[in-house]
Structure 1
Amino acid sequence: MKTVHSTLLLLLFVPLAEPAPPPQLDTHSNYEYATDNYEETKFSQDYEDEYLDGKTPEEKETLTPDEKSLQLQKDESVTLPPKKETDEMPTCLLCVCLSGSVYCEEVDIDAVPPLPKESAYLYARFNKIKKLTAKDFADMPNLRRLDFTGNLIEDIEDNTFSQLPLLEELSLAENQLLRLPVLPPKLTLFNAKHNKIKSKGIKANTFKKLNKLSFLYLDHNDLESVPPNLPESLRVIHLQFNSITSITDDTFCKANDTRYIRDRVEEIRLEGNPIILGKHPNSFICLKRLPVGSYI
């Protein structure tokens, strides 16, 4: 009997001695943190979670590495923002574009570069520009100041500046000009000193309607006479070192109106011209100050 009882007890305890099954591993946390390829492994897992989302497990498993790469490129091409226009970049790489101002000084350009549409000020001094055309400033309504000092400009199309309604300051100093183009109506400063401009190169109405013009610099040219119809708004008139030989009572004043006073003029310079100002006393009767020049 004792032998039977011992056998039964042994049979009851045998199942309890079987080894426990191996633990299940979490595949998503099975990264080798101590290895260099951790970031690559993590990126691969994130890619599978994000870019293969919505596919069945069978579809995910059937994608080869090359197919995964193509899928990633396809998805990235969809999510990238649209490419911006870069037509203005060459100018702003050659020059300096800053807050509506374009600085193209001493960069050896021979033509006006394409300007950003919002440009208000262009400084293109000391280059090799020979000609200005209306196309150079087409659709540029915000321009307020243009400076082409020290170029090689010989010719300017008549309508080059007339379509710039906001242009206030224009410098064409130190060029090779023989004549002046049509000027915009809101100019306050015009500088064309050190050119080759003759009196026949200035039309009779060039300055007549410029009712805001305050500063006029035409010194060091080849003018034989003072330009006609100078506006009442002028404060400074520089005509020194030309070829002016005579003036009349109507040059600055009004011969038929002795009460007329040109009270805004602060300075007229006529030195360096072959004219004796003392021979024309009635020509300055309307001025508060006599012009600078020779009176003897």
Structure 2
Amino acid sequence: MKTVQSTLLLLLFMPLTEPAPPAQQDSGITHEYGTDNLEETIFSQDYEDKYLDGKNIKENMIIPDEKSLQVQKDEAVTLLPPKKENDEMPTCLLCVCLSGSVYCEEVDIDAVPPLPKESAYLYARFNKIKKLTAKDFADMPNLRRLDFTGNLIEDIEDGTFSKLSLLEELSLAENQLLKLPVLPPKLTLFNAKYNKIKSRGIKANTFKKLNNLSFLYLDHNSLESVPPNLPESLRIIHLQFNNITSITDDTFCKANDTRYIRDRIEEIRLEGNPIILGKHPNSFICLKRLPIGSYF
């Protein structure tokens, strides 16, 4: 009887003596999931708070009707600054405008673009411009330098440069010119090399009154003679590679004044012309340096 009771007692207490499952591992997992759930709960609350706040704000907002929106739109339109003349022109989008200089080089324009009134320098080299007119530079009193090198210019109206009283440098090199226009009075440099200009395309007084002209480039044209009435101010004269066949004692000097000396001329180039300079020795007696060219 005692044995049976002992066995029953042993069986009753056996589960108490078995090792417990690893509670530490389970608690760890429970802790991790608990952290995730906590973060989700915080995020949900934060989102809900923001959402509710946003909802409350939205509910409290006064949504204007179409009429009030139209009034605001009209007021905005009236507050816009007035349009300037040059706002419509694309020149400074197509070209580069910088401190009074406009650079329109190699942009395939076929006419002079509208320029800002404060422009002093225009570089429009290597384009497709065929003609220059007085309208191109109307109301442009500040222009000091124009460069149209490498275009297709065939014609220039006589009044094109007449109002440009401050213009000092003008380049028309590498075009298709047959004649020269009236030039502005204050030019210091004029470049028309590599054109098709003939002597009859230059009027007798074209250069006479240009008392500031120092550099004259007319090489690689079709001139049959040296242009007349060249101003005393000239320092450099390039006439090489034309069709000049003769010169006279009055071309550079003064035939009736043997004391006359032309001080300022530093260089005259006449090579590449069908002229023997050695046959005209009296034509250079007023010069400090002989012209460059063939003497035999």
Q: 1:134 to 1:81 in 2, by over 3 A?
A: closer
Whether the aligned pair in 1 keeps the contact of 2:243 and 2:273 (CA below 8 Å) is yes
Does 1:236 pair with 2:252?
A: no
Q: 1:219 to 1:78 in 2, by over 3 A?
A: closer
Match of 1:117 in 2: 117
Q: Which whole-Å CA distance do the structure 2 matches of 1:41 and 1:143 have between them?
A: 61
* Partner SS state of residue 90, structure 2: helix
Q: Output the TM-score relative to the length of structure 1.
A: 0.78
Q: 1:34 to 1:233 in 2, by over 3 A?
A: same
Q: Which whole-Å CA distance do the structure 2 matches of 1:69 and 1:154 have between them?
A: 58
Q: 1:139 to 1:128 in 2, by over 3 A?
A: same
Counterpart amino acid of residue 217 in structure 1: Y
Counterpart amino acid of residue 34 in structure 1: K
Match of 1:215 in 2: 215
5+ residue gaps in structure 1? 1-31, 49-62
Q: Which whole-Å CA distance do the structure 1 matches of 2:110 and 2:123 have between them?
A: 14
Q: Alpha-carbon deviation of 1:79?
A: 4.0
Does 1:275 pair with 2:275?
A: yes
1:237-296 per-residue CA deviation (whole Å, 9 max, x = no partner) reads: 000000000001100000000000000000000000001111111100000000000111
Does 1:134 pair with 2:150?
A: no
Q: 1:151 to 1:79 in 2, by over 3 A?
A: closer
* Partner SS state of residue 34, structure 1: helix
Match of 2:181 in 1: 181
46, 50, 59: which one aligns with 1:34 = 50
1:25-52 per-residue CA deviation (whole Å, 9 max, x = no partner) reads: xxxxxxx98349859959x86xx7xxxx
Q: Alpha-carbon deviation of 1:74?
A: 4.1
Q: Which whole-Å CA distance do the structure 2 matches of 1:33 and 1:66 have between them?
A: 32
Q: 1:205 to 1:38 in 2, by over 3 A?
A: farther
Whether the aligned pair in 2 keeps the contact of 1:125 and 1:148 (CA below 8 Å) is yes
Q: 1:64 to 1:236 in 2, by over 3 A?
A: closer
Match of 1:69 in 2: 69
The Cα RMSD (Å) is: 2.3
Does 1:248 pair with 2:264?
A: no
Q: 1:40 to 1:140 in 2, by over 3 A?
A: farther
Match of 1:60 in 2: none
* Partner SS state of residue 122, structure 1: strand
Q: Which whole-Å CA distance do the structure 2 matches of 1:39 and 1:265 have between them?
A: 88
Q: 1:265 to 1:38 in 2, by over 3 A?
A: farther
Equivalenced residue count is 248
Q: Which whole-Å CA distance do the structure 2 matches of 1:235 and 1:289 have between them?
A: 11
Runs of 4+ in 1 over 6 A off after TM superposition: none
Q: Output the TM-score relative to the length of structure 2.
A: 0.78
Match of 2:147 in 1: 147
* Higher share of residues assigned helix: 2
Q: 1:86 to 1:179 in 2, by over 3 A?
A: closer
Q: Which whole-Å CA distance do the structure 1 matches of 2:159 and 2:75 have between them?
A: 52
Q: Which whole-Å CA distance do the structure 2 matches of 1:33 and 1:221 have between them?
A: 86
Whether the aligned pair in 2 keeps the contact of 1:88 and 1:116 (CA below 8 Å) is no
Q: Which whole-Å CA distance do the structure 2 matches of 1:153 and 1:40 have between them?
A: 72
Q: Which whole-Å CA distance do the structure 2 matches of 1:67 and 1:290 have between them?
A: 87
Q: 1:38 to 1:217 in 2, by over 3 A?
A: farther
Match of 1:7 in 2: none
Counterpart amino acid of residue 50 in structure 2: A
Whether the aligned pair in 2 keeps the contact of 1:88 and 1:115 (CA below 8 Å) is no
Q: 1:77 to 1:156 in 2, by over 3 A?
A: closer
Whether the aligned pair in 1 keeps the contact of 2:89 and 2:114 (CA below 8 Å) is no
* Larger CA Rg, structure 1 vs 2: 2
Q: Which whole-Å CA distance do the structure 2 matches of 1:173 and 1:68 have between them?
A: 62
Whether the aligned pair in 1 keeps the contact of 2:145 and 2:167 (CA below 8 Å) is yes
Match of 1:227 in 2: 227
